[in-house]
Copies of this chain bind each other. A is one copy, B any other.
């Protein structure tokens, strides 16, 4: 292993880790931050994204040997004391495990769709702007074997540090692609043989009665306004039945129920 001790928080080799929270806001020029052992392991195992380096708290190193062995011999593992690490990150990093990954070129949804198998479950997100919800939806997508997540341009970034953390790394595992125009995506999915269901509190069919088809796309919208009316008019709509007097469900919870339902073969 290529262990590199870091004593100076301003060392240019760890510049990518400086002031993490401030950098979250301005973006990372094609990079992302992975935090914690589980996420680092997933980044290195899944192999979908290149890892550039890791920054590890010195007393966490021993527990990470198995994970770090998955990297090439020259992969830089920067090692710092708690004090130096906190000064690099700009706040107290109690996890003590960070890595920088490379995003690669963004994939258009249409290109990603062409790569999917005959049996495929796809999640289509419209206007999901909360990083907690985004991360949770990816986690559920991974847990129930979704093949891809497609995001419209009003969705937030799944590579945002908090989204990756909440997803427990699923944002680095489940392939995702972006689309601009919803009508043209709907047409593409139709052409590719996908049944298309939109989840809505006012959906016409109870989800228990909606059957899995070999290729299925599930649309989820924002919690407040839901999916756009024009889209709901074009798709089959399904609802999750709730108790009278409290018909309020978080969009990530709704995704868990719907993906679990449609994951049944």
By a beta-carbon cutoff of 8 Å, the part of chain A in contact with chain B is: 136, 139-140, 142-145, 168, 170, 173, 208, 240-244, 246-250, 252-254, 256-257, 260, 263-264
Cross-interface CB contact of A260 among B143, B168, B244, B257, cutoff 8 Å: B257
In the assembled complex, which residues on chain B have CB atoms less than 8 Å from the CB atom of A244?
Answer: 145
In the assembled complex, the Cα of A145 lies from the Cα of B143 at a distance in Å of 26
A143 and B246 within 8 A (CB): yes
What CA separation (Å) do A246 and B252 show in the bound complex? 17
Residue of B with least CB distance to A42: B246
A-B contact pairs, 6 of them (CB 8 A): A142-B248, A145-B243, A241-B263, A243-B263, A250-B256, A253-B256
Which chain B residue shows the least CB distance to A168? B248
Chain B residue at smallest Cβ distance from A45? B245
Contact present for A249 and B256 (CB under 8 Å)? yes
**What B residues does A248 contact at CB under 8 A?**
139, 142-143, 168
Determine whether the beta carbon of A144 is less than 8 Å from that of B243: yes
Q: Which B residues are in CB contact (< 8 Å) with A256?
A: 249-250, 253-254, 256-257
Q: Are A143 and B208 closer than 8 Å at their CB atoms?
A: no
Which residues on the B side are within 8 Å of A142 (C-beta)?
A: 243, 246, 248
Task: Give the distance in Å from the alpha carbon of A244 to the alpha carbon of B145 in the complex.
Answer: 8
Cα separation A168 to B223 with both chains bound (whole Å):
12
CB-based nearest B residue for A248: B168
Contacts of A253 in B (CB 8 A): 136, 139-140, 143, 252-253, 256
A215 CB to nearest B CB, Å: 17
Q: Which residue of B lies closest to A146 (CB)?
A: B243
Q: Which residues of B contact A168 (CB under 8 A)?
A: 248
A117 to chain B minimum Cβ distance, whole angstroms, is: 14
* List of B residues within 8 angstroms of A144 by Cβ: 242-243
Closest residue to A247 on the B side, CB-wise? B143
